Amino acid sequence: MMSQLAPSNPTSRYTRPTSQFRSTQFSRQKPGILHLYVGLPCPWAHRTLIVRALKGLEDVVPVSVASPGLDGSWEFRHRDIPDGDRVVPGLDNANGRKTLREVYRLRRGGYNGRSTVLMLWDVERKEVVCNESYDIIELFNSGLNQLAKNPDLDISPPSLKKKIEDWNQIIYPDVNNGVYRCGFAQSQQAYDSVVNELFSTLDMVDDHLGSFRYLCGDVLTLADICLFTTLIRFDLVYNVLFKCTKRKLIEYPNLHAYMRDIYQIPKVAATCNFRAIMDGYYKILFPLNPSSIRPVMPSGYEHEFLSQPHNRASLSSVDENV
């Protein structure tokens, strides 16, 4: 089961499969043509929900939420009692299917590959547009401005493209994917190597954020959103379940305040479903948590921790090379 869940290379390091559908262009500017499939535990899907919200695309790109199944599939469910402890099968909002695999197979010619969230779907043509998160957030940022409520917001401005790319080259392998490389390492040697890379990078980023409000200076960019969705899961999940135990995020004064800064941006907090995040990791990743017991969330996590003043607005706006 572990080899299916977390494929590794000959050195026992986790190797993330590549996305099969790539696109950053979509020319048909009409509400409802695009449909977004997400899983709330997934940090890659979370990126798209944040950019969708910040750009004001909620009415333009509807969403179906899939839940992880025990066999590695993604299923559509709805809860039938207020406390949400019992779920029953449901259907997705665009195609009336029970699983994401069934949606993928609707495309012309069918599909037998990995049926992963997130995924952007063309409702009219019944075709997968894209299942690469970074392509989708770039499309949402600049490719649907005729339909967006906030078309003037640009979180990947041309003047910062190089800096954003430089930060992504650091953040993606060592932090976004780094936590998974720790959790899914299949030898002590592989784990020791990647955990040191993870925390060395966090140390470096924390030091940088001591002088700059965001990664690229005083402007929020796509690089920040990509980092944020890993940080918001760090102490709840990765520190415990993925053995990222060298330090908790709350022990990094700049990183934790930076995370709170982004969390407190209007609309961002509403994209953070901590119950779904913890369920998705602790109850589904059987090899890592055979009991499927979800630990208790720290008391007052959302309000006492994440709503504390971040005091970052006064930081220097002078740019710095990565």
Domains, in order of start, for the chain: 2-143 (3.40.30.10), 158-305 (1.20.1050.10)
**Catalytic annotation, pick one of 14, 37, 172, 180:** 180
| pTM exceeds 0.85, yes or no | yes
The pLDDT score that the predictor gives to residue 89 is 64
What is the distance between the alpha carbons of residues 69 and 248, in angstroms, rounded to a whole number? 29
Q: Is 180 annotated as catalytic?
A: yes
Q: According to the model, what pLDDT value does residue 15 have?
A: 62
What was the pLDDT predicted at 116?
85
> Is 226 a residue of the active site?
no
Residues facing 35 on adjacent strands: 121
pLDDT in tens, 269-320: 999 999 999 999 998 887 789 898 999 998 888 778 899 999 999 885 644 4
Per residue in 12-39, is it b (16+ CB within 10 Å) or e — as a string? ebbeeeebbbebbebeeeeeebbbbbbb
pLDDT at 14: 57
Exactly one of 37, 42, 281, 282 is catalytic; name it: 42
What angle is formed at CA 62 by the lines to CA 237 and CA 265, rounded to 5 degrees? 50
Interval 176-203 mean pLDDT: 95
**For residues 119 and 304, which has the higher predicted lDDT (pLDDT)?**
119
